Chains A and B, each alone.
Chain A
Amino acid sequence: MAKLISFDIDGTLETGDPPGRITMDLVRQARDLGYIIGSCSDRTVGMQKRMWETHGITVAFTVLKHCLDQVRAAHDAEHYVHIGDTNIDKYYAELHGFTYFFPDESIDHLWQAE
């Protein structure tokens, strides 16, 4: 069963405001490693979709920050991860059964092939 990574945008992805540590190339690598990927942000869903389209990345979900439960309901995964830079990310991730990571070197292991 696949694993799932949810990306916050602002402060997490390089396209965010402020820009975060995770590049779009890194997102593509996650996809290529077999992760179910998508975004979970306070940006509107429309803005999230346009961001992914701009970078030519097809994602499985685009949801609002407090809606990670919808991701969990819609996607069967072995492990659910949310990466975000604020305490709000941590709060909603843990509320909905996701493992939370701050976007620093603590996430590097996610990109290492098992």
Chain B
Amino acid sequence: MAAANEYKWRREKDGLGVWEHRGKVAVAGFGHSPVDRRWDGVSMDKTLGAYAMLACQKAMDEAGITADQVDGIVCCDSHIAGPSGGSASKWAPRPYFAPPYDSELGLTLVNAEWLIKQMGFKNVKFAPTKLPTIGEMVGMASQAVGDGVCSNCLVIYPCGNLEGRYRRGGENAEDHARGARQWTVPWGNHGGNDFINIFPHNQYCLKYGGKHDDLAPYVINQHRNGMLTPWGFNANHGIEPITVEDYVTSRYILNPLRLWDCDRPVNTATAYLFTTAARAKDMKQKPVYVLNHSQHNFKQRTTQPDLDEIELWTDIAAKRMYEGAGLGPKDVDIFNPYDGYATMSQFFLEGFQWHGVKRGDALKFYAGDIRVEGPHPFNSSGGNLGTGRVRCAMYTDAIEQLRGTAGKRQVTVRAETALAAFTTPSSGGWIMFGKHPG
């Protein structure tokens, strides 16, 4: 097993040209564990570890391969919903177990080494550690397969949740907001995108017109798409569709961010099998090809980004992605940007100019027909808002749409290319899929 942290896989610069492995890498399978609201701390068949193993098995079964054929494991080895939470995500409503059971692995944590041991992967030669989030992991796997570092690479993204207040570990568990945190999270907020995106969102409304609650049609449609996603949390837990009235009367989490603008933390794991295009042709499913991957990690000027920065960043991200894929806005059929907070999506939509949406047009676009049956099936995945904080709905939907297996979510427009991401405006990654390799 090779620890490949030194591996240079990122495509995070401008002007890299068309990706050298365009169409030569494919996704051949995916698997979702059940999506629970939280782990109860007791059921050993519902731990994050058990669910990660289940997701891997499903992905392998779907592709029609066995554990012996897997030679790459890209597993987010961090804590609740990936490393983006920092020390705040090192949290549990109980002390960690005393030695010799002083490990959360298999319970609330999963890593490649643990998975390899538990699942008997004997031929793994690529299993990097200290991984980023899923938005970049899919790029890492794509590059590794393209470069020949491995051939059949499982990408595993566990998203955990436990009883109690979410992500109240590390600095968030302290009684004081120290250093720069005194300016950003004096009340103990985890400093996530709720706060980061509020200022630019307000600036957006001031600059272009519209008001926060114009997001309602988008959020409601995300819930609708989520109900059309059989594996998701909402579809399996009696969550009812919300109405405009429900949305506009819901309480503010951070004014103007409303309750329904935020995703719902869940306990689940997702796995994808990346392989070479040549191998994928002989597997069970119709291959979905990777046409490009790109990453970005922009440095912000102050504690909070402003609208100008966010628009610049998303413009750059779009340019990098389109250049590497050899495609333009008019070529993208399926567009699944991240929606962990509803206020984020408009920046991506306009940056990538999907369906001709330009800066300042998003709220008007949301008021139109964005249903999957309609002409502008925006975020057909339902995203996090519709399926829970899985952070993978965007990828699974893209794959299903291109395969033509999205069921009730299947769009009626052309579905030959798909863009998907878990990313914030400042950092993360994008991936472009194609129904055809060329």
Contacts and interface: CB of A to CB of B under 8 A. Distances in A.
Interface of A: 17-18, 42, 44-47, 64-66, 86-87
Contact of B251 (A17, A66, A86, A87): A66
A17 B37 contact: yes
Given A42-B250, A44-B246, A66-B251, 5 more contacts: A44-B243, A46-B243, A64-B250, A64-B251, A66-B252
Interface in B231-252: 237, 240, 242-243, 246, 249-252
23 contacts: A17-B37, A17-B237, A18-B37, A18-B38, A42-B250, A42-B251, A44-B240, A44-B242, A44-B243, A44-B246, A45-B246, A46-B240, A46-B243, A46-B246, A47-B240, A64-B249, A64-B250, A64-B251, A65-B251, A66-B251, A66-B252, A86-B165, A87-B165
A45 B163 CA distance: 24
Interface size on B, as a range, is 10 to 19
Contacts of A47: 240
Interface of B: 37-38, 163, 165, 237, 240, 242-243, 246, 249-252, 259
Give me the 10 closest cross-chain CB pairs, A-B, nearest first: A66-B251, A44-B246, A65-B251, A17-B37, A47-B240, A42-B259, A64-B251, A64-B249, A44-B242, A18-B163
Contacts of B37: 17-18
Contacts, number: 25
Nearest to A66: B251
Contacts of A44: 240, 242-243, 246
Of the candidates A42, A44, A45, the one having the most CB atoms from chain B within 10 angstroms of its own CB is A44
A42 B37 CA distance: 16
Contacts of A65: 251
Contacts of A17: 37, 237
Nearest to A17: B37
Contacts of A66: 251-252
A87 B37 CA distance: 20
A108 to B, nearest CB: 23
A44 B220 CA distance: 13
Contacts of B251: 42, 64-66
Contacts of B252: 66
B234 to A, nearest CB: 13
Nearest to B40: A18
Contacts of B163: 18
Contacts of B237: 17
Nearest to B259: A42
A18 B242 CA distance: 21
Nearest to B246: A44
A45 B240 CA distance: 11
A79 B237 CA distance: 36
B164 to A, nearest CB: 10
Nearest to B249: A64
A66 B249 CA distance: 10
A87 B242 CA distance: 25
A46 B241 CA distance: 10
A86 B165 CA distance: 8
A47 to B, nearest CB: 6
A34 to B, nearest CB: 30
A40 to B, nearest CB: 11
B40 to A, nearest CB: 8
Of the candidates B37, B163, B246, B252, the one having the most CB atoms from chain A within 10 angstroms of its own CB is B246
Contacts of A46: 240, 243, 246
B265 to A, nearest CB: 12
Contacts of A64: 249-251
Nearest to B38: A18
B310 to A, nearest CB: 29
Nearest to B240: A47
A83 B251 CA distance: 18
Nearest to A47: B240
Nearest to B250: A64
Nearest to B242: A44
A96 to B, nearest CB: 13
A89 to B, nearest CB: 12
Nearest to A63: B249
B259 to A, nearest CB: 6
Nearest to A18: B163
B220 to A, nearest CB: 12
Contacts of B243: 44, 46
A34 B242 CA distance: 34
A25 B60 CA distance: 48
